[in-house]
Homo-oligomer: A and B are copies of this chain.
Amino acid sequence: MEKNAIYPSRRNFIATTVTAATGLAGLALLPQAGFSQKTADSDINIIGPKEGYSPQIGTLVSMMTWMRMVVLSSVEKLNQQQLDFLFDANSNTIGALLMHLAATESLYQGNTFQGLEDYSENDKKKWSVAMDLGEPARKSIKGHDLKFYTDMLTEVREKTLAEFRKRDDQWLMKVDPKFFSNMPTNNYCKWFHVCEHESNHNGQIKWLAKRVPGAKPGGE
């Protein structure tokens, strides 16, 4: 498996670990003042409340930020040919999968911030091919370098964060009576899904990236 210095991999677990073998005294207790203490955004591996957000929304933001960091590290060295590479007739390209992440986040923005059941008409034009993937996406999502996709992801994320800053933990816990599997689903679950959905496709992206033209031989 390609060693990803950022994503915790099997091989670098030991190399990067200095753990709690020394007991409590060896660890910094951060935050000191309970769960509401905010930590700086540069503390990427500190999951918890963040400045500018209510405590739980900030915790969610820290998860989403961490997850995005991991996804970007999977694709940072890919060129256009690799982003456009089609593994088989039923696969998606890595570029299309990246656009799909932005499309998904946009869909949940509309749903949770505006109460929409589907994209607005404008957004549908913009996002539905990337949302649905498949043959239309294979035909049309190509010819872009990495920056095209990362700029798109960043723009969508900035809108999410701006909307999160206006809301509070009560909003996060608010329940939609019928959503996933037609069951009660809170905003936290919807946004947790947006977050884990990035990891879902990141697993596919990493698998594909090992098989694109120019990939290191012998990767799993």
Contacts and interface: CB of A to CB of B under 8 A. Distances in A.
A167 to B, nearest CB: 12
A79 interface: no
A116 B204 contact: no
Contact of A28 (B14, B29, B184): B184
A189 B18 contact: no
Q: How often does this chain occur in the complex, in copies? A: 2
Interface string A92-115: 100000000000000100011001
Given A13-B107, A20-B111, A28-B184, 17 more contacts: A17-B111, A17-B117, A18-B117, A20-B112, A20-B174, A20-B176, A26-B177, A29-B170, A35-B169, A47-B186, A59-B59, A67-B196, A90-B220, A197-B199, A199-B203, A204-B204, A207-B207
A104 B67 CA distance: 18
Interface of A is mostly: mixed
Interface string A170-181: 100111111111
Contacts of A17: 111, 117, 176, 178-179
A39 B45 CA distance: 28
A202 interface: yes
A196 B193 contact: no
Interface in A23-74: 23-24, 26-31, 34-35, 43-48, 55-56, 59, 63, 66-67, 70
A184 B14 contact: no
Interface residues of A, number: 87
Contacts of A59: 56, 59, 188
